[in-house]
Structure formats: C-alpha cells, structure tokens
Chains A and B, each alone.
Chain A
Amino acid sequence: AQSVTQLGSHVSVSEGALVLLRCNYSSSVPPYLFWYVQYPNQGLQLLLKYTTGATLVKGINGFEAEFKKSETSFHLTKPSAHMSDAAEYFCAVSRASGNTPLVFGKGTRLSVIA
C-alpha cells in the first residue's frame, strides 16, 4: 500500500524567505509523485509532478521539487516566498502501473508573513 507523510501541518515563512514543505512517501513499486495547491475556497490544482526522468521537477509559480529515491522524499521548495503563495499544499503518490487513485497527504498550510 502507498502512503504519504507531510511533515508539519502549518508552516510560516516571511515574505522573500525560502519555502520548504516536506513530503515523504511509502511505495512498494516505483511511484508517481505530485504536489497540488489549494487556494482558499477553491479546488486543488496541480503544481508539479514527477513520473520518470529528471528527478528535479519544476512547476508553476516558481516551485520545484526533487525526487530522492534513497530518502523516499519529494520536498517542495521555492527560493523566495510571495504573499500569494499562502495556501494549503498537498503531496500525493500514485503507483506507476495500473489504474490506481492518488493517495494524498494530510496537507500543509503555508502562511506568508509580510
């Protein structure tokens, strides 16, 4: 079975500071990994995904994540936080084969302080 652990249900950063949201996964087979963002009163939208190939993945709004198999991690980073980045972020995992649903982490709420 697959699972996702997001460390920290709430992260606060100052505007302009580095954003680091942590995600560790468990999967017995090669995983596909995703980060989704949820802005207030909206649905989720895809930030970035790792399927195969380059382990450093760039997404929208300046975010990126690196797949580290040895650490079973897929942490999300952004060099400089902006007020508009305040949202809830979800890491998700899916199997690389078969029709399998996404398994989501519990989410991390990012606050950006002016």
Chain B
Amino acid sequence: EAQVTQNPRYLITVTGKKLTVTCSQNMNHEYMSWYRQDPGLGLRQIYYSMNVEVTDKGDVPEGYKVSRKEKRNFPLILESPSPNQTSLYFCASSLGRAGNTEAFFGQGTRLTVV
C-alpha cells in the first residue's frame, strides 16, 4: 500500500531536548516536504526537498533542520525545541514537481513542548 509514515504520532517533550520526527515514503517520490498546522493558520511549509541531498527552506524554517540522505526518508529535527513549536506536523511526498502532482500526506505528529 502506498503511504507516507510518520513517527511518532504523539510526542510530549521538554524545552531544549533535541528530537527527531521520522518520515518515510514507499512510492519512490522525489519531492518531500514538512508542514506544520496551527489553528487559524492552515498549513505552512517548513522545509522541502526536491531530491536526495537537495533541501530548501519553506515559509517557517526557523528552529528546524532536515536531511535527505535517502530518497525514501526525510526526518525533521528540532535541535532545541521551544513551546512555540507545539503544533501538528505533517510530512508529504509527491512524484515530482509539486505543481502538477498529488501530494500524499502522513497521518501527522502532534508535538507538545512544555
């Protein structure tokens, strides 16, 4: 089954404790991205990657890092989480150019930073 898998689904952590949210897709998609969803703000893109070793900032990249060492994986790293990063995070992938292909989303990771 074609899917995007995020882990964990839920995470509560303390300020400053480094964490990684994993994302893996099994569709051989080139394009992957991370979004955060906040009430009243919709989805905002954090980072995206057009292929292995190619990443770029989205609209809200501050406080986040990503890596794309393999085509299927695109982890999101919070080196020093802060309470304003409490949010619902989604990973997405698409076959190629995001402009004309469907994006497939993971189930989401609800992060709480206390």
* A interface residues, Cβ below 8 angstroms from B: 9, 32, 36, 41-46, 49, 51, 90, 94-107
Residues of B within 8 A of A9 (CB): 40
Interface of A is mostly: loop
In chain B between 48 and 91, which residues have their CB closer than 8 angstroms to a CB of chain A? Answer: 48, 50, 58, 90
A43 partner, pick from B4, B41, B50, beta carbons under 8 A: B4
B106 partner, pick from A43, A96, A107, beta carbons under 8 A: A43
18 pairs of residues in contact across A and B, judged by CB atoms under 8 Å: A32-B100, A36-B105, A42-B107, A43-B90, A43-B107, A44-B43, A44-B90, A46-B103, A99-B31, A100-B98, A101-B58, A102-B98, A104-B35, A105-B42, A106-B40, A106-B41, A106-B42, A107-B42
Residues of B within 8 A of A97 (CB): 99
Complex Cα distance, B35 from A49, in Å, reads 20
Inter-chain contact A100/B42, CB cutoff 8 Å: no
Q: Name the distance in Å between B76's Cβ and chain A's nearest Cβ.
A: 15
* B interface residues, Cβ below 8 angstroms from A: 4, 31, 33, 35, 40-45, 48, 50, 58, 90, 92, 97-100, 102-103, 105-108
Complex Cα distance, B98 from A98, in Å, reads 8
A44 partner, pick from B40, B41, B100, B105, beta carbons under 8 A: B105
Inter-chain contact A98/B99, CB cutoff 8 Å: yes
Inter-chain contact A45/B105, CB cutoff 8 Å: yes
Inter-chain contact A90/B42, CB cutoff 8 Å: yes
A99 partner, pick from B44, B50, B90, B106, beta carbons under 8 A: B50
Q: Name the distance in Å between B30's Cβ and chain A's nearest Cβ.
A: 9
Inter-chain contact B103/A99, CB cutoff 8 Å: no
Residues of B within 8 A of A96 (CB): 99-100
Complex Cα distance, B35 from A90, in Å, reads 13
Q: Name the distance in Å between B5's Cβ and chain A's nearest Cβ.
A: 11
Say whether, besides A43-B105, A90-B43, A105-B42, A51 and B100 are in contact (CB < 8 Å): yes
Say whether, besides A96-B99, A99-B98, A101-B58, A42 and B108 are in contact (CB < 8 Å): yes
Q: Which residue of the partner chain A has the closest CB to B42?
A: A106
Inter-chain contact B42/A94, CB cutoff 8 Å: no
Inter-chain contact A49/B102, CB cutoff 8 Å: yes
